[in-house]
């Protein structure tokens, strides 16, 4: 009995330490000099998942290794791509369907086939009613146990936009799920690390399918370099790992709201009014 109580107390203190450290990170007050070691896990408990990908390739950059694991296990995973081949100006930035075709090929490498393309313009993802309603309907249909998305401080306007769309869609849906936030442009403060050493070659192959993006930046090398770095957290620097911030959806969205208020105030341009 005492051991069980002690275990629950330690788990609670660990969660509190993490939240205080993360709160300090995003400007919600100055926390103590806390050291938090993320858990090394094989993946989330909930295998029925929806992946929110701002652009065709973000899902593979941020979590291609874990997606390959989902695919190999035939888990029910839906990948939602918000943008495609159209720019914010409404013109084709690539030949029509280029990025969508690349996404399908990458998904095939990872063992996934359930893809949704929302067709939003690049740099144009905003929480307008029709988009929020469409995502809310998808969440009701798929009933995910886990929702993956780029973390809310990832340094791209569409990555923040996806968080805002999910925020409003979740409030319409109100289903219980765990958010696993992944990193693309900005390293996050993780509480979960997944060893993807066995899946690293699959991730490389999937990333290579995004040839239109590889022309501008060697995403294969850059992404796998971050995964090598993440292996230093719990794996002694051997192999490859992907890092995540995992929280109940309600807690994650509350953290997003608090960050918005702390940065932008609680008026029309801050908090929930921030668009």
d(Cα 160, Cα 38) in Å, to the nearest integer?
24
pLDDT of residue 10 exceeding 90: no
Classify 124 as helix, strand or coil: coil
pLDDT in tens, 237-258: 999 999 999 999 999 999 999 8
For residues 42 and 65, what is the distance between their CA atoms, to the nearest angstrom?
Answer: 11
Report yes or no: 227 and 75 within 8 Å, Cβ to Cβ.
no
Q: What is the pTM of this model?
A: 0.87
Residue 90 banded pLDDT, cuts 50, 70, 90: low
Average pLDDT over residues 29-33: 47
Tokens of 114: 């359930």
pLDDT given for residue 54 in this prediction = 98
Query: pLDDT tens digits, residue range 160-184?
Result: 999 999 999 999 999 999 999 999 9
Q: CATH number for the 43-270 domain, one of 2.60.120.10, 3.40.50.300, 3.40.50.10320, 3.30.379.10?
A: 3.40.50.10320
Give the start-to-end residue ranges of the domains of the chain: 1-36, 43-270
Per DSSP, 272 falls in state G
Write out the two tokens for 224. 């796998």
Nearest residue to 210 (alpha-carbon basis) of 199, 198, 223: 223
């Amino acid at each position: 009995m005492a051991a069980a109580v002690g275990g629950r107390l330690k788990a609670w203190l660990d969660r509190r330490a993490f939240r205080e450290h993360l709160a300090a990170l995003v400007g919600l007050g100055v926390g103590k000099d806390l050291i938090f070691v993320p858990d090394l896990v094989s993946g989330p408990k909930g295998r029925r998942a929806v992946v929110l990908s701002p652009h065709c390739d973000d899902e593979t950059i941020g979590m291609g290794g874990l997606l390959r694991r989902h695919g190999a296990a035939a888990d029910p995973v839906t990948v939602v791509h918000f943008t495609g081949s159209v720019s914010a100006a409404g013109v084709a930035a690539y030949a029509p369907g280029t990025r969508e075709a690349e996404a399908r090929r990458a998904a095939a490498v990872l063992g996934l086939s359930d893809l949704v393309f929302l067709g939003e313009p690049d740099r144009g993802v905003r929480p307008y009613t029709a988009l929020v309603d469409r995502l809310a309907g998808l969440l009701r249909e798929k009933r995910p146990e886990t929702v993956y998305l780029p973390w809310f401080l990832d340094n791209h306007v569409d990555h923040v936009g996806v968080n805002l769309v999910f925020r409003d869609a979740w409030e319409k849906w109100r289903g219980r799920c765990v958010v696993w936030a992944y990193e693309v442009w900005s390293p996050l403060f993780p509480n979960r690390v997944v060893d993807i050493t066995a899946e690293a070659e699959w991730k490389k192959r999937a990333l290579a399918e995004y040839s239109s993006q590889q022309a501008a930046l060697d995403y294969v090398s850059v992404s796998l370099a971050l995964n090598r770095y993440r292996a230093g957290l719990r794996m002694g620097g051997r192999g490859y790992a992907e890092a995540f911030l995992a929280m109940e959806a309600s807690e994650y969205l509350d953290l997003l709201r608090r960050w918005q208020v702390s940065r932008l105030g609680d008026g029309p341009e801050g908090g929930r009014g921030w668009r």
